[in-house]
Amino acid sequence: MTDAASPDDRTPCPLPGPGDPTESGHRPHLPVTDATRAVRPATLAITAGRPHASPDAPLNEPVAFASAYHAGGPIAYARDGNPSWAALEDAIGTLEGGSALAFASGMAAIAAVLDTLPLGARVVAPLDGYSGTRVLLRDAGAPGRWEPVLVDVTDTAAVLDAADGAALVWLESPTNPLNGVVDLPAVITGAHALGAAVAVDNTYATPLLQRPLELGADVVVHSVTKLLAGHSDVVLGATVTRDDARCEAMREHRTFYGAIPGPMEAYLALRGIRTLAVRLDRAQANASELAARLATHPDVSRVRYPGLPDDPGAARAAAQMAGPGSMLAFEVRGGAAAAEAVAKATRLIVHATSLGGIESTMERRARWSEDVGIPASLLRMSVGCEDVEDLWADLDRALRVGGAAGAGDA
Ligand SMILES: Cc1ncc(COP(=O)(O)O)c(C=O)c1O
């Protein structure tokens, strides 16, 4: 895996420097200096968010279990802030190049972005994208809260058509689950020209492969639950922005709606980030190898992975990402029954939803969202860090089981 930007062409991030806590209680950890900025993202994943170095100081921010703080400082009560969150926020903010806020889940972070829009705001959002965002916008908000317009976000003209009069364009790239790649520079520039802000869910790529704020996006969202935390053992989310007013509005949202992370979860997520680069390197190499083998497998009709040279997203991914990532999508011959049989037949690859863990998981996505154009036979695989030959042996065997189950089906 290569880094997207050289140390010299990365934009300095506007995190607070060393010294006093900010008004909002954000307590800076290791100062973001020219020296810390001069290292590459994989190194920042290891160094960012550590306590100040001083004799006897711990190397890691301890888990702060506290619901109240001694009076006189910026944090009075547990919903205002927590040192364990602050360390995680420093790390995520440094990696993305903005100021991060940690939330109780990715959905809580998404809700904070959307809830701080004006009433009735038009929001352009992906048809092919994480279903929770779509359902929140379309069905779960109060009537009239937002005016969602769902589009194919890989179609730049369609996005910009819909963005006229919109408050926000919500993007995912690559998209979950079809692995579509958005032309981020073109959509961000075009949306801004129309007066719309742009949010990017960067969960699939992580800041090691793609940094949307550097491409001009206004806010980045993460399900930290996935690759950042990386071990299928925590639920957490984050927002990152360079816009102080937006950051403050989302911080207030977190304080008053109470979608705060637990300190133990924040600690675990930060511990996960320390190994993100090595996990992602391995998982991405595995995904690339599996994609190439699946592309010639007799029981597979289509592979969607932007690392394949003939994938429709390959050129965009090469231009704006440091690598194609660790998420695969492929369609099985024999329809839904065959795909379901493949998902159930694996022994090593876990039949489960979610993604980004160190272990490989796989599921038939259309079992959740039949109505948005996800092919019934599409399997989404979150590729983990196992030995690739073991993964291939498991997949190949399961595909043959699925092939037999789907024989005669559509
Ligand atoms: C791309 C993406 N964004 C956001 C979310 C929501 O995150 P969480 O489950 O942490 O609330 C998910 C969850 O699957 C996701 O896949």
User: Cα(80)–Cα(121) distance, rounded to whole angstroms?
Assistant: 28
The residue with tokens 């926020």 is: 89
Question: Which residue owns the Cα nearest ligand 1 atom 2?
Answer: 130
- Ligand 1 atom at shortest distance from the alpha carbon of 176: 1
Q: How high is the pLDDT of residue 42?
A: 96
Ligand 1 centre distance from Cα of residue 108 (Å): 10
Question: Which candidate, 125, 142, 190, 195, places its Cα nearest to that of 167?
Answer: 195
Question: Which candidate, 69, 77, 182, 201, places its Cα nearest to that of 133?
Answer: 201
- Ligand 1 pocket mutation pick from 105, 171, 220, 226 by most atoms within 8 angstroms of CB: 226
CB atoms within 10 A of CB 61: 24
Ligand 1 centre distance from Cα of residue 232 (Å): 12
- Ligand 1 pocket mutation pick from 88, 105, 107, 171 by most atoms within 8 angstroms of CB: 107
User: Cα(380)–Cα(377) distance, rounded to whole angstroms?
Assistant: 10
Question: Which residue owns the Cα nearest ligand 1 atom 8?
Answer: 106
Q: How high is the pLDDT of residue 28?
A: 45
What's the predicted TM-score (pTM) here? 0.91
Ligand 1 centre distance from Cα of residue 103 (Å): 12
Q: How high is the pLDDT of residue 8?
A: 34
Active-site amino acid positions: 79, 130, 201, 226
- Ligand 1 pocket mutation pick from 173, 203, 232, 236 by most atoms within 8 angstroms of CB: 203
Question: Which residue owns the Cα nearest ligand 1 atom 6?
Answer: 106
Q: Within 13 Å of residue 205, how many CA atoms lie on the same side as its CB?
A: 34
- Ligand 1 atom at shortest distance from the alpha carbon of 354: 14
Structure tokens belonging to residue 83:
């040192």
Ligand 1 centre distance from Cα of residue 357 (Å): 13
- Ligand 1 pocket mutation pick from 176, 260, 380 by most atoms within 8 angstroms of CB: 176
Question: Which candidate, 291, 318, 289, places its Cα nearest to that of 389?
Answer: 289
Question: Which residue owns the Cα nearest ligand 1 atom 10?
Answer: 106
Cα–Cα–Cα angle for 239, 26, 68, rounded to 5 degrees: 110
List the beta bridge partners of residue 382: 327, 361
User: Cα(402)–Cα(408) distance, rounded to whole angstroms?
Assistant: 12
Cα–Cα–Cα angle for 173, 178, 180, rounded to 5 degrees: 40
User: Cα(22)–Cα(271) distance, rounded to whole angstroms?
Assistant: 24
Note whether 231 and 357 are within 8 A (CB). yes
Pocket of ligand 1 (CB under 6 A): 105-107, 130, 132, 172, 176, 201, 203, 223, 225, 235, 237, 354
Q: How high is the pLDDT of residue 2?
A: 38
Q: How high is the pLDDT of residue 19?
A: 35
Q: How high is the pLDDT of residue 38?
A: 77
Ligand 1 centre distance from Cα of residue 113 (Å): 14
pLDDT tens per residue, the chain (410 residues)? 334 333 333 333 333 333 333 443 444 454 455 555 678 999 999 999 999 988 999 999 999 999 999 999 888 999 999 999 999 999 999 999 999 999 999 999 999 999 999 999 999 999 999 999 999 999 998 999 999 999 999 999 999 999 999 999 999 999 999 999 999 999 999 999 999 999 999 999 999 999 999 999 999 999 999 999 999 999 999 999 999 999 999 999 999 999 999 999 999 999 999 999 999 999 999 999 999 999 999 999 999 999 999 999 999 999 999 999 999 999 999 999 999 999 999 999 999 999 999 999 999 999 887 667 899 999 999 999 999 999 999 999 999 998 777 665 54
Cα–Cα separations (whole angstroms), residue 114 to 102, 198, 290: 16, 11, 37
Question: Which residue owns the Cα nearest ligand 1 atom 16?
Answer: 130
Ligand 1 centre distance from Cα of residue 18 (Å): 33
Q: Is 120 left (phi over 0), alpha (psi -120 to 50) or beta?
A: left
- Ligand 1 atom at shortest distance from the alpha carbon of 110: 4
Question: Which residue owns the Cα nearest ligand 1 atom 15?
Answer: 130
- Ligand 1 atom at shortest distance from the alpha carbon of 109: 11
Which residues lie below 8 Å from residue 348, measured CB to CB, with a gap of 6+?
360, 386, 390, 391, 394
Q: How high is the pLDDT of residue 22?
A: 40
Cα–Cα separations (whole angstroms), residue 4 to 101, 132, 173, 210, 293: 24, 29, 15, 7, 26
Q: How high is the pLDDT of residue 13?
A: 32
Ligand 1 centre distance from Cα of residue 205 (Å): 13
